[in-house]
Amino acid sequence: MSAVPQATYRVQIRADFGFDAAAEVVPYLHGLGISHIYLSPILQAAPGSAHGYDVVDHSRLSEPAGGRPAFDRLADRLADHRMGAIADVVPNHVAVPTPARLNAALWSVLRDGPGSPYAEWFDVDWGSGNQPLLMAVLGQRIGKVLADGELSVDGDVLRYYDHEYPLRPGTENLPIAELVTEQWYRLAHWKVADEELNYRRFFDVDTLAAIRVENQEVFEATHELLFSLLHEGKLTGFRIDHPDGLADPRGYLRRLAERTGGAWVVVEKILEGSEELPGDWPCAGTTGYDALLRVGGLFVDPAGAAPLSAFHSELTGEPADFAQVVEQAKREVVKHGQYAEVHRLVELLARICQDDVRLRDHTRRAFHAVVVELLVNFDRYRAYVVPGEQPDQTAVHAMEHATELARRNLDEDQQETLELVRDLLLGREAGTASRIDEHARYELIVRFQQTCGPVMAKGIEDTAFYRWFRLTSLNEVGGDPSHFGVSPEEFHAFAARLNDRWPRTMTTLSTHDTKRSEDVRARLGVLSEQPAAWTEAVRSWRTLSEPYRDSGLDGSTEYLVWQTLFGTWDDGPIAEERLQAYVLKAVREAKRHTSWTSSDAEYESSVAAFITGVLGDSSVLKAVGHFAAGQSEYVRAATLGQKLVQLTMPGVPDVYQGTELVDLSLVDPDNRRPVDYSARVERLARLDAGARPHDLSQEKLLVTTKALRLRRQHPEAFAGSYKPLPTSSGHAVAYCRGESVVTIATRLPVALHRLGGWGDSTVVLPEGNWQDVLTGRAVGSGSARIHELLEELPVALLVRS
């Protein structure tokens, strides 16, 4: 078994799919061509966790999933098939569970405050007077809670409904109003959190508290079990969740490489625009959002951008420029969800300058305005400035670019403050040469970078992506809805760069975090080629659905419903329960008419009634079904094409659970639904017995298993070169891996159909005799007619025979 995966398969470990259930599907995954199972977080999480990212105990494997005995059985089954396991690691945060005693480290800090042996675990601003840790859990203000008698004392525990908190020793017998003020924590109304929270959290989630893994003791304690499993051979590598949230991502990865002996590690890093993964990070690469963007873009027609923009603006009233939507959303996040972090940055700046006579005349108001503008205009998750080191040019450019954009919205008196803050954030000399309060300067650099990520994620992915729907397949994690389509030349350049710099990186099309599965996005992508037909179809559907649309329904939400209905159409509409849940989540994430923290029942009722009406009207469904049926061949080409490209391009391909068949899932929790593995086992057995695929799901399974098995049979080819192959048509993307594998895929099939098909278009194959492993057909070398190669399927996978 290789320590570097040939291909991974992501499974969601939870109570109803534990380690024993994963062990049961190992033979199937081996038959599929998978080398490593890729497990969601496996450590003990908060009660009822559906995802595992809310760890409460790093010393135990998930007990609902079966604990250590079941995990050992999974490891044994993997070993029997010469397979390995990759685990998802969460170094950035832990759960603040209910009750809090489930997290022993947190319980200790709540009881003993800064004197707790775990106090250094958490990123807490205790203040100069040892201010208590804010626990914003109350349903109303503390005065009303006390008046209503909702708090009670039970021995050495303070109770608030299901919540339990430890009492500071010696305070057990105080009157309740005095008792609550004497604790190392402050119970407060939940709405207080955004403004006064004094512990760093994961994005805006109060129940996920950041930990200081840069502390060696914390690093060792939170990774000890994982390292033990790695050294026992029961794990072979790690996927690192959100490294940008750490104080020192590079330092963390260096310690990880040292402790694991250089195990295969990929990082969940979102690269914006032309940004590249830092070259000094000791890891194999990213989890593949960058590949997802390019592969999906191959099947989107840039010519559709303008007409779809016009229709989108007409229907929704949204601006044509997505950047405006992003800026507004980021401003809202900075103002509300990240207010406490902005306040801490301002106070750090004030402290630095108050201690330096040369800098005292810069005010808190100016610092606040500058910090807000820099965060809003920062165009990536992080700049990677390391305190005490000279920043590289990439970091300098990113900060200078944000500074110039921020300058536009600051008055003349604030320009000098802006330049001062820029210099401090880059670690440059500013003020007194002796650099008073070096610790505060270092903290400022780190904390600003830790705040950029939440502003990007919550502002773009979790707000703007739910407001602007020109083509929703582009509203994807790591994606850019304004980047409309990827040419073969752009894709080849990206793939060649991966092969040269990050050949062992992960590639993916679907993850637990994607907004829509790969197959939903493939369906939506074909709309880019026929904006006129799509516009006409939506207009007709709107006419038919007029009785269900009231004045409360806005155009953006309605347009999202139509795109989602088409994108999930599978011989009929998506189940109403799934569509209702998805759209409710979408409108709350958009935060325009309703939100998770301030819901508008009347608006939500209007949206729900529209969906019920549409799904209950046979004339509407007939019209949608008729349009969808006309797209079947185009959808087929996009579905199979993007899958084959992802599986054979440079990198280690990941298959998200269930997506070896057509899977029309939406954002979590929809994409965490149980997978029917018995059906997949049966379908794979039929293919292996010689049956030809009879539907798109079978064809996708054929493409997936043939490509994965080929990777296992010819590892040298996929570890070798990447060479684009000449074609005489822009509707084909073709390349050779090593000297023995060729991929050919159809792109933009609608426009190809309008041209009358492939005609005399050719692809130039390398010298030798070739065989298509998908069809068994023998192929010669040299100039080959594409229509002959793709006679049975819109893709071909050739191996030198």
3-state secondary structure 526-541: HHHHCHHHHHHHHHHH
Instruction: Give the pLDDT band (50/70/90) at residue 379.
Output: very high
For residue range 590-600, what is the model confidence (pLDDT) as tens digits? 999 999 999 99
pLDDT (0 to 100) of residue 801: 86
Cα–Cα dist 255/728, whole Å: 50
DSSP character string of 415-480 = HHHHHHHHHHHTT---SSTT-S-HHHHHHHHHHHHHHHHHHHIIIIITTGGGT--SSGGG--TT--
Helix, strand, coil percentages in the chain from 3-state DSSP, rounded to 5: 50, 15, 35
For residue range 441-453, what is the model confidence (pLDDT) as tens digits? 999 999 999 999 9
Q: Give the mean model confidence (pLDDT) for residues 545-573.
A: 96
Token output for 662:
């057509």
pLDDT (0 to 100) of residue 435: 61
Cα–Cα dist 104/120, whole Å: 14
DSSP character string of 202-269 = ETTEEEEEEB-TTSHHHHHHHHHHHHHHHHTTS--EEEES-GGGSS-HHHHHHHHHHHHTS-EEEE--
pLDDT (0 to 100) of residue 433: 53
The CA-based dihedral angle spanning residues 360, 361, 366, 367, taken in that order and rounded to the nearest 10 degrees: -10
For residue range 78-124, what is the model confidence (pLDDT) as tens digits? 999 999 999 999 999 999 999 999 999 999 999 999 999 999 999 99
The SS3 call for residue 515 is coil
DSSP symbol at 670: G
Residue 431 has pLDDT above 90, yes or no: no
Neighbours of 549 (CB within 10 A): 15
Question: Looking only at Cα atoms, what is the longest distance across the chain?
Answer: 90
> Sign of the C-alpha dihedral, residues 78, 685, 737, 734?
negative
Domains and CATH numbers, the chain: 8-91+213-266 (3.20.20.80), 100-210 (3.30.1590.10), 326-461 (no CATH)
pLDDT (0 to 100) of residue 437: 75
The SS3 call for residue 503 is coil
pLDDT (0 to 100) of residue 434: 54
pLDDT (0 to 100) of residue 356: 87
Residue 2 has pLDDT above 80, yes or no: no
The SS3 call for residue 703 is helix
Least confident of 114-128, 235-249, 528-542, 556-570: 114-128
For residue 157, the cross-strand partners are: 154, 166
For residue 10, the cross-strand partners are: 38, 656
Residue 258 has pLDDT above 90, yes or no: yes
Token output for 441:
């300067």
Pairing label, strands 185-189, 732-737: unpaired
Comparing CA positions, the residue from 116, 150, 147, 153 lying closest to residue 133 is: 116
Cα–Cα dist 763/782, whole Å: 8
> Sign of the C-alpha dihedral, residues 555, 556, 562, 565?
negative
Q: How far is CA 722 from CA 283, 493, 503, 671, 764, in A?
A: 21, 10, 10, 33, 15
Residue 436 has pLDDT above 80, yes or no: no
For residue range 497-556, what is the model confidence (pLDDT) as tens digits? 999 999 999 999 999 999 999 999 999 999 999 999 999 999 999 999 999 999 889 999
For residue range 155-191, what is the model confidence (pLDDT) as tens digits? 999 999 999 999 999 999 999 999 999 999 999 999 9
Instruction: Give the pLDDT band (50/70/90) at residue 204.
Output: confident
Cα–Cα dist 577/670, whole Å: 10
Comparing CA positions, the residue from 522, 762, 654 lying closest to residue 88 is: 654
Neighbours of 59 (CB within 10 A): 11
> How many alpha carbons fall within 13 Å on the CB side of residue 670?
25
What mean pLDDT value characterizes the chain? 96
Cα–Cα dist 302/265, whole Å: 35
What are phi and psi for residue 94, nearest 5 degrees?
Answer: -130, 170
Token output for 239:
């996927």
Q: How far is CA 426 from CA 270, 393, 536, 650, 690, in A?
A: 22, 11, 53, 35, 62
For residue range 624-665, what is the model confidence (pLDDT) as tens digits? 999 999 999 999 999 999 999 999 999 999 999 999 999 999
295 in Cβ contact with 510 (< 8 Å): no
pLDDT (0 to 100) of residue 297: 97
